[in-house]
A and B are shown apart, each in its own frame.
Chain A
Amino acid sequence: MTNQHDQNERLDHATRQRLARLGSLPVDTSPLEHKLRAAGVSLGGSSRHDFPALAGQGGSDSRRRR
């Protein structure tokens, strides 16, 4: 019973870890940025607000072997 519980916990944890990696996949926000500008959503102030997630997140890790 304990082994079964431990195995289920391990399964759950491993799945959470695998899903967490999807949260670091890079996204291309450029088309959306154009849409937002067109819709009148200002980028604010005198300088452009960069998207921190655009810089080098997870790209090299995004393809995995089967």
Chain B
Amino acid sequence: MRITGRSDNPEDRFHRLAWPQVPTLLRTAGYLTRDTHAAEDLVQETMIRAMKNMASFEEGTDIRAWLMTIMRRTHIDLYRADRKHRDVVSLDAAEGLRITLPDEREAGTYDDRWDNPEEILERFGDDVVVLALKTLPEEIRWTLLLVDVEQLGHADAASVLGVPVGTIKSRAHRGRAMLRDRLHLHAVSIGVAGRGQEVEP
């Protein structure tokens, strides 16, 4: 979302530009944190910081990328330093995903368990996909949230995460493969697929 050309004071800009992005921030925070309350706390602090720093937002750039950058820093400040509040969901905590993970699949390796991927992916509920997403390493998860879930451009995602565009592309590709592995193993765990086999209806 590129915003161009209107001049108003920071408070008006906050309400006009940042406020409508709260659902996007809250959804993303929900995929980053352990529970709803943690997500709300994260977005609350993000919005307070955004309000205070609205004058630094550069018109013509993507407001979502600017807010996501603030939220990422806020997330680091609030949670990463405190090991008690690690937000990577463990497999034990993720009901329905009680599975043992194999070594990660090499990105680009042919995966013959997914001969009809569109149809197979439809069989997983949103709740299962979200739980699988939450088990991914944080940097991979951030990448998929920005690029695939919220559809930010690669350059904006790279800016948010402070890495080169090429890193974003490789992380996204690898992350999608890791997500499919999680989903496949979930299918194995509930008995609708065997190891090395396509998921059955």
Contacts and interface: CB of A to CB of B under 8 A. Distances in A.
A44 B180 CA distance: 43
Contact of B19 (A14, A19, A20, A49): A49
B15 A49 contact: yes
Given A14-B118, A49-B20, A19 B27 contact: no
Interface in A42-66: 42-45, 49, 51-54, 62-66
Contacts of A11: 111, 114, 117, 176-177, 180
A49 B14 CA distance: 11
Interface string B164-201: 00000000010011011000000000101000000000
B13 to A, nearest CB: 10
Nearest to A52: B20
Contact of B20 (A39, A51, A63): A51
A35 B110 contact: no
Interface residues of A, number: 40
Prevailing SS type, chain B contact patch: helix
Interface stretch (B55-63, B65-73, B148-156): B148-156
Given A8-B110, A18-B129, A51-B20, A39 B48 contact: yes
B31 interface: yes
Nearest to B41: A35
B31 A22 contact: yes
Interface of B: 11-12, 14-15, 19-20, 22-24, 26-27, 30-31, 36, 40-41, 43-44, 47-48, 51, 108, 110-111, 114, 117-118, 121-126, 128-130, 133, 144, 148-151, 173, 176-177, 179-180, 190, 192
Q: Which 5 A-B pairs have the closest CB atoms?
A: A44-B15, A53-B23, A19-B148, A14-B117, A15-B176
Interface of A: 4, 7-8, 10-12, 14-23, 25, 27, 29, 31-33, 35-36, 39, 41-45, 49, 51-54, 62-66
